[in-house]
Amino acid sequence: MAKSLLAQLREMTTVVADTGDIEAIEKARPQDATTNPSLLTAAAQMPAYSKIVDDTLLDAKKQLGGNADDAKIAKLAFENLAVAFGKKILQIVPGRVSTEVDARLSFDTEKTIEQAKSIIGKYENAGVSRQRVLIKIASTWAGIRAAERLEKEGIHCNLTLLFGIHQAIACADAGVTLISPFVGRILDWYKKDTGKDYQGADDPGVQSVTRIYNYFKKYGYKTQVMGASFRNTGEIIEIAGCDLLTISPHLLAELDSTEGTLERKLDPKKAQSMQIERLNIDQATFEKMHEADRMAHDKLSEGIEGFSKALVQLEQLLAKRLAELEAGSAKPVGAH
């Protein structure tokens, strides 16, 4: 019997589910799972998860005491909710879950470290080993410095919103566990900027991940590359062999229902024999390269803004939900 593309992909790449929907993870059965504020906001509005949301809110209210206002409780509840979903996900996946720090802290090294430790503390208090959690941090210079310090304390990090080679190398030099270059968002920018469509190996997102992967393998970095944010299965096929790929449930289903031969495109042995210039990325070089790379500059700002907006929306949703619970008028989440 012919193997599906997904079955073949699993033989060369660790497959990760990109969703906060626990039911979707149960169907996909990935090795790891990753969430972000937008995915959590969507999951928190699904009726299936109303008990998790309500329990988290009431617990946050208890933690802060009766006099705390709803907005403050909602802020704490976001962190608790991310961990609550993470714990549920870890009951399904054998590997790790990525939990994101507040995107509004992306330019504050100290506050990022503080929240990362708080998240890890919550997991450990619930009996979850820190080895099973990756803290997701935006790939700003401040975020990379935070990750460098956290890694030294055994808190593993997944550097997200990564679009340029300068971000990738700075992360690898800092010894982070994992990076998530955003394939689809890179494609989006180039399509809008040039008015062209890109297919297969011509896709600029595919080219970016290929370049990063080959650089890391050439120079023996331990940091793993996890391609993320795919727009179609064609992008996934072009970077088969990447260390990890985080894929949405609908694209996982498409790969699972497609047969054919999947060729390994990224290979550490091939990378070692390539001629690749080594780059030294200090802060001045990072900032200079970031300014010169319009795509990376635009997409990092836009990504931080988008995740920050999703968090504001989630906090408002939680504050409204808490008011309903306190008034005794709460219906299940998502019910009208």
Q: At what angle do helices 294-327 and 183-194 cross, to 10 degrees?
A: 120
Rounded distance between C-alpha atoms, residue 264 and residue 247, angstroms: 17
196 counts as catalytic:
no
Let me know: does 123 contact 133? Beta carbons within 8 Å. yes
Residue 71 CB neighbours (<10 A)? 12
DSSP secondary structure string for all residues of 227-279: EB--SSHHHHHHTTT-SEEEE-HHHHHHHHT-BSPPPP---HHHHHTS-----
- The bridge status of strand 244-247 relative to strand 32-34 is unpaired
Q: For the CA atoms of the chain, what is the radius of gyration? A: 20
Question: Taking a C-beta distance cutoff of 8 angstroms, is the pair 265, 211 a contact?
Answer: no
d(C-alpha 66, C-alpha 194), whole Å: 55
For the record, the structure tokens of 149 come out as: 């310090």
Q: Which of 61, 136, 218, 299 is catalytic?
A: 136
DSSP three-state, residue 31: coil
- Cα-flanking dihedrals φ and ψ of residue 247, to 5°? -125, 140
Residue 181 · residue 209 · CB < 8 Å:
yes
| Burial status of residue 313 (CB atoms within 10 A of its CB: 0-12, 13-18, 19 or more) | middle
Catalytic residues: 136
